[in-house]
Structures are given as C-alpha cells and as structure tokens.
Structure 1
C-alpha cells in the first residue's frame, strides 16, 4: 500500500516536444493518499490512460518523477512496482478453473495454502463467483471472465495500488451497478489505493472518493463528486459532469450584474474588471434554473420540453443562446414565451474557461 506522488510529471510521444501542444500529458503535480479511491475521468484522448500507464510502468514519462511513498519508481519496470492492474478486456487463463485463476497471484508469492483458500473464497463471494469456482474459465461468459480479472487484481493484500483501466466495458449494463458497489465495499474493507480510469461519469462518481477530471492532456479539477457538481473549476467540468451539463453562456460582467445579450442577471457576488480579450462566460446548472410563467424572472424562449421520466427539462434560449432548465410539475405554458428563475448562489463566472472567484463586497467593474 502506498501514497502516490506525481512530481512535475509530463509526457510527449514525439521525441522533440517544443511546447504544451506536443504533450499528451501536461505537467501534473499531485499527491494521492494511501488508501484513497480515485477516478481518472475524461473523454477518449484526454491523457488518462497515458497517466495510468506511467503509474503502472508501461510508459516512462518525458519528464518528472513518480514516487510510491518516498521511493522513486519513475524508471522501474512494472514488475518492480508491486501493483495490480485490471484492463478493459478480460485477461484470464482459459485452461484453469476460476479458483486456480484467483489463486495464481498468491501461489506465485508462496502464500500458505490455507491462507490462499480463505482469500480466494472471500474475493469470489464478493464478486458473485462462488458458484463457478471449479469451472474452467473457458466455459464462462465475458462478464464472468472480467469478474475473474477483477478478482485477480483484488486478491493480493500487499500491493502498492490497484489500477483499473475501464474494467466494466464488457460487463452487461444491469451488472455494472452491482460490480461498482462490490468494488466500493472491497475498497473500504482492504484500505488499498485504487485508481479507476473511465470516460463514464456515473462510474467515476459512484466509485471514487476523489475524481481527477482530465481534458486535453491536463488535469482541470480534482475534487469530490459534490465539489465537481456544485463548483466546477472549469467550464469543461461543468459540461462533462451532469446530465444535461452546465449551461455556459457568453456574458459581460459589471459588479454584481451579468449581461447575457440584453438580459441582465443578478449575481450573488461582485466581480472586478477583467483584462481585455478574455472570454467571459456565465455558468449555471439546469438544476438551479427553473422555468416559470411569462413575466416571471428572466425572459426566455422555449424551443422544446423533454420528459426524461424523473423530471421535465426545457430547452430554451436566453437572448438567442441555448440553455436547459427544469420544468415544475404544475407549470403549463401557452406558446413559446416563458420566464426563468435562477439561484444566484449557484451562478459561476469564468474567464477563458477558468472559474473566477467572486468578491462579496461587489466592487464595480466591467468584463
């Protein structure tokens, strides 16, 4: 078990990187505590698998160091790092039984037979494999084979970290929730450092205590699921997390008022003037934007209303800019005109995509 320190870590696949645009992984400085459950979340190509492969030793970074506790492992091979890794597709020995597959990593380490048996039974029970322990892996479904891969990663108690690279891709949707819950329970029981790579926000937010959101090779925010939802540090985080994602609207800001087109929006904080040329945007999640009768709040145009079962979502335009808002159950509209109320405490201002701290005193300025 280990804490993991990323010290000035960056990687480029080309031999002569000349600027940030040449790096698949831009500089990262971070410490992941021992026993934490982390998710690397982002779209394909954002750098999360590159980072995972650097941690595992499959890739040597262009610059920077990686430490397990105080031990520099930057140039050590995978087998010298004492980690377990579970890949996107099953890696099992088809000619072995499930029991033999799960026991294999422990037998290699000369663990006593009785201890191996106990550990295999425990992991098999948690992954719902007890009934197939003595069946050959070749006779099992892809779902069951991936459970074996997960079990082989989890069966050792002495690893520095367990790395999961989109491990539920081949799992049937109705089993994914069950397996995520099992992984979470195992994490609590084992106190192991776990790092889970995924592009699925549901997987990340339900598995991890801390989510690392990546975009274009950079870490744009690290925080708890609640922090990412309530206070996105970057417009990408607001877009990527949530369904639908955060409304991001071009704006001008003067003190405690934002203007989206010709619509004035009251802010909970004041904002000083920003440098000329910055892209200023207002962000508010649909959960904190509520459609209302015409003449109430801000004037908007309704383009359509979607019923998603648990709620109704209005697709609207604010001064021609598309947005989404929640529709109260008792609201009935005649035509496409409506009002919109916003929770001012949940409105965020961004400059070039980055969250701008508000000033409680509300100094006057223009952006």
Structure 2
C-alpha cells in the first residue's frame, strides 16, 4: 500500500485541443477508499486508466510512494483492476480463477487456500467454488472478477471501474457492504469509478466529483451532501438534487423577487450586491400555511408520495422549488403555502461556485 500522487496529470485524446482530464495535482492516501463520481464522459475512467497504466497522461507525472510510474506498464505497477464486465478464465473453476493471481506469484498453497476461501465466503461464492466460471450467470461471473481483484493482500491499489453494473440490483446493497468489510480486512487503497451516487456515498471514505474533466469537489460523503462547494455537486448528489433558485443580494439581504429570505453570510468578508443563486436541498426546506417571515409564498404544483416521505413541488414566479416532508403532512396541488429555508443550510452561488450562506434575519426564528 502506498500513496498515489498525481503531479499536474492531465490527458487529451486530440493533441491538446480539448481535455478529457484537465491537469490536476492531488494525493490519494494509502489504505483509504476513494470513489470517482460523475456522469458519462466526465473523465473518471480516464483518470482510473492513467493510475493503472492503461493510459499514459498527456502531461504530468504519477508516483506510487517514492517511485515514479508515469511510463511503467500496468503489469509492473503491482495493482489489481476490476473492469465493468467480467474478465475470467472461463474454462477454470471459480476456485482456480480466485487462486490464479496468488499462484502466479508463488504464494504458499495453504495461504492461497485461506485467502480464496475467505474472499469467497465474503462474496457468497462458497457454493460455486468448484463450478466452471462459464456456467455462471453474468452477475455471478462479475462477482468472481471482483473477488479475483480483491484476493491479493500485497497490491499497491485495487482499481474498480463500475464493477457492479451487471450485478443484479438485489445483490448490490450486499456487495457494497461487503466491499467495505473487505477494505477493512485488507487495508487496500481502493479507487472506485461509478456514476451511481448511492454506491459512492455508501462505499467511499472520500468522494471525488468530476465534471467536464475537472474535480469540482472532493470530500467525505457527509461533507458533499451538507456543504456542496459547487452547483454541480448540489445537483448531482441527492435524490432529488438541490433546489437552485435565482435571487438577488441587496445590501446584505437575499431576495427572491420582492421577498426577503435571509441575510447573506460570507466567511471572506462582505459579499457584494448582485445576482446570486440560492442552493438548498429539499431536506432543508420547511413549509407553513401562514405568512411568517422570512417565507416564500409559492403555489403547490404536485405532491409525490415516495413511501418514507412526501416530496412537495411548488412554483413561485416561474421558479421551481421542492421540499421533503413527512408522510403525515397534507398538501394539495393549487394551495398557497409559505416555504422557508433552514438557516446555514441554504447556500449562495455565483458562477456555479459557493460564495456564502443564508443566515437567519435579525429577530427571525431559527429552524
């Protein structure tokens, strides 16, 4: 296990006219689990393939600990990689597929058997160990591929490229927990590519959110949910994502149309007046039937009953707003309600970057 350091690493597929991965410098620390999260085409698989050696970056250098590996081939980097679709020796049994990476490196027979059986037990493969891999369904084959990537305890890192795509949805929840258990057991450095926020947030110690080849924010899952530093993070993480509402900042007061909703708070000094966008998650929107200040009068347009909660949708002057409420709440389309933001959980954005928060107005009751 080693730190993986990216020094000005970037990649272009067209000679530098556009960047699939914009140059970045950062360190992935040993024994931590990282998720690279973002939509298709954002650069996450490019970054993973640069770390693995399948791609040589256009610019920058890569270090595994104190060893530069920028031009070192994949086979010499001492990593394990699991791809989106199964890569197995189909004529071999499940046991032999799991044992192959260890036999190839001369591990003692007893230790091979111990590791294979430990990983197969964690992945629910005990009853399949002596079956040929080609006789398994695609989802089970992918679980074997996952096990083969995790069976070695001596690798510098385990890299996983959307490994649960072909796995039955009912098994995914179990496998996410299993991955965390194996990570605790082995202490591997794990780098996990996914477009699924649930996988990223439940699995990783740190999530790196990518958009258009840039890491727009990196942090612990709770931090990304509660304190997004970029509009894209607020939109991409959460179900549904963050409400984004055009507003104006006038002499320190945030207004939506003519309605004040709070005062601006900024850690870097006074925020200048001008247009802003309010970002607030539906979890931090409150509704009342009376016009207490500060509150946005909005017309309810729909109510989605989601089982564990209700999602109330409303509109004010063409601006859409959603709130999560408990299942005992009763709101009807067409009703006029007053929407309030939990102080310090509503953020201000300019040019997509967070620039402040909305604090309670003087004398206003805090939620």
Q: Among residues 24, 31, 35, which one is paired with 1:28 in the alignment?
A: 24
Q: What displacement does 1:151 show? A: 0.7
Q: What displacement does 1:88 show? A: 0.4
Moved more, 289-298 or 48-57: 289-298
SS of corresponding position for 1:189:
helix
Moved more, 215-224 or 310-319: 310-319
SS of corresponding position for 1:345:
coil
Q: Among residues 137, 161, 176, which one is paired with 1:180 in the alignment?
A: 176
- Please give the alpha-carbon distance, in whole angstroms, between the structure 1 residues aligned to 2:272 and 2:319: 22
> What residue in structure 2 maps to residue 210 of structure 1?
206
> What residue in structure 2 maps to residue 350 of structure 1?
349
Contact conserved, 1:254 with 1:273, CA < 8 A, in 2? no
> TM-score scaled by structure 1?
0.93
Contact conserved, 1:267 with 1:344, CA < 8 A, in 2? no
Closer, same or farther: CA 24–275 of 1 in aligned 2, 3 Å: farther
> What residue in structure 2 maps to residue 83 of structure 1?
79
1:43 lines up with 2:39 in the alignment: yes
Moved more, 286-295 or 167-176: 286-295
> What residue in structure 2 maps to residue 263 of structure 1?
259
Q: What displacement does 1:82 show? A: 0.5
Closer, same or farther: CA 85–245 of 1 in aligned 2, 3 Å: same
Q: Among residues 222, 225, 248, which one is paired with 1:229 in the alignment?
A: 225
> What residue in structure 2 maps to residue 65 of structure 1?
61
> What residue in structure 1 maps to residue 306 of structure 2?
308
- Please give the alpha-carbon distance, in whole angstroms, between the structure 2 residues aligned to 1:11 and 1:275: 39
Q: Among residues 317, 321, 324, which one is paired with 1:323 in the alignment?
A: 321
Q: What displacement does 1:254 show? A: 2.8
1:283 lines up with 2:279 in the alignment: yes
Q: Which runs of 5+ in 1 are unaligned?
A: 363-367
Q: Across the two proteins, how many residue pairs are aligned to each other?
A: 355
Deviation per residue, 1:11-32 (Å, 9 max, x gap): 11012x25xxx11101211111
Contact conserved, 1:288 with 1:343, CA < 8 A, in 2? yes
SS of corresponding position for 1:233:
coil
Closer, same or farther: CA 218–126 of 1 in aligned 2, 3 Å: same
1:115 lines up with 2:92 in the alignment: no
Contact conserved, 2:243 with 2:279, CA < 8 A, in 1? yes
Contact conserved, 2:31 with 2:189, CA < 8 A, in 1? yes
SS of corresponding position for 2:70:
coil
- Please give the alpha-carbon distance, in whole angstroms, between the structure 2 residues aligned to 1:140 and 1:186: 23
> What residue in structure 2 maps to residue 336 of structure 1?
335
Deviation per residue, 1:141-170 (Å, 9 max, x gap): 112111110011001111000000000000
Q: What displacement does 1:178 show? A: 0.6
Q: What displacement does 1:294 show? A: 4.5
Contact conserved, 1:349 with 1:355, CA < 8 A, in 2? yes
Q: Among residues 186, 191, 197, which one is paired with 1:190 in the alignment?
A: 186
- Please give the alpha-carbon distance, in whole angstroms, between the structure 2 residues aligned to 1:41 and 1:340: 32
SS of corresponding position for 1:280:
strand
SS of corresponding position for 2:46:
helix
- Please give the alpha-carbon distance, in whole angstroms, between the structure 2 residues aligned to 1:88 and 1:307: 34
> What residue in structure 1 maps to residue 365 of structure 2?
none
Deviation per residue, 1:218-256 (Å, 9 max, x gap): 000000010000000100000000011001111211344
CA root-mean-square deviation: 1.8
> TM-score scaled by structure 2?
0.93
Q: Among residues 144, 154, 158, which one is paired with 2:150 in the alignment?
A: 154
- Please give the alpha-carbon distance, in whole angstroms, between the structure 2 residues aligned to 1:142 and 1:267: 55
